[in-house]
Amino acid sequence: MRLLDRRIAVAPMLDWTDRHCRFFLRLLTRRTLLYTEMATTGAVLRGNPERLLAYDPAEHPLALQLGGSDPAELARSARVAAEFDYDEVNLNVGCPSDRVQSGRFGACLMAEPDLVAAGVAAMRAVVALPVTVKTRIGIDDRDSYEALVDFIGRVASGGCEVFIIHARKAWLRGLSPRENREIPPLRHDVVYRLKRDFPGLTIILNGGLTTLEQIADSLPGVDGVMIGRAAYENPYLLAEMDRRFFGSSAPSPSRRQVIEGFLPYVEAQMRRGTPLQAMTRHVLGLFQGIPGARAWRRYLSEHVHRRGAGVEVLAAALRQIPNVA
């Protein structure tokens, strides 16, 4: 079992952090912990696990996020995760979508802490991997600090030692998943307080962190931070992580170097039948905030769907940016 450094992580994001995205992000940072999109226990156990769970070894350290609530199915799914050599199994207790709720997993499980604890215990009984929980600070009217402490305490009794806390409550009715990421106010103070009250647990802060300065300011109060949309919309943010937070002496990769490192992967995946756009969509934000970013995005968007398009499209898109480094 690999020892995980949890100071910096990229959040599991449905439809975003697929294997192509993760390989791309790994070209920017070697040390940041990456998470898969959520995979339901039903898909893991009754679908095609090779298609769902396969990844490039370069993606390590890598955690699999599971969605489910049945302890027996969670345990079986955790075994599959171990067979695929993931570094961690994470249970989703934070997603508020109607589809997730109908399957009795995600944020609605905050109302059933004993069931979550049973799921954690069942997974820990069958694998040596760390079993972690990603959750919110509350749901609906169950949003008092006392309710959160009760939830954390009960789940910890099942053997969970690592909690990733999205510092917003979730409304299970009336708000879309996107609105639940934006409308409920951020309460970083709640997460800091939780760390003070549970010093023996590993507490990771998630939500609203978009700059290196915010991350640095947050770390003294928690054991680590998890970055979400900022890592996807402005991925070059990750290029400084290894030097700033993990003590690496290696120079940060340039944007050009990242794309040049991505090209062999794109070629190999296309030979296996992966559409070019399935990979290039993840690199659209690489030049965010610098001259030529719009031309980069436009060129890729206009050319990746053309018949016969290949890696030369990425090379040509680079030429749209003046003095690209």
Pick from 204, 315, 311: nearest CA to 268 = 311
| 170-175 LR contacts (CB < 8 Å, sep 24+) | 170/94, 170/96, 170/107, 170/136, 170/138, 170/139, 170/140, 171/96, 171/139, 171/140, 172/96, 172/101, 172/107, 172/108, 172/139, 172/140, 173/140, 175/96
Backbone angles phi, psi at 211, to 5 degrees: -135, 160
In sequence order, what are the residues at sequence separation of 6 or more whose Cβ sits closer than 8 angstroms to the Cβ of residue 197? 149
Residues with catalytic roles: 95
Pick from 177, 173, 157: nearest CA to 228 = 177
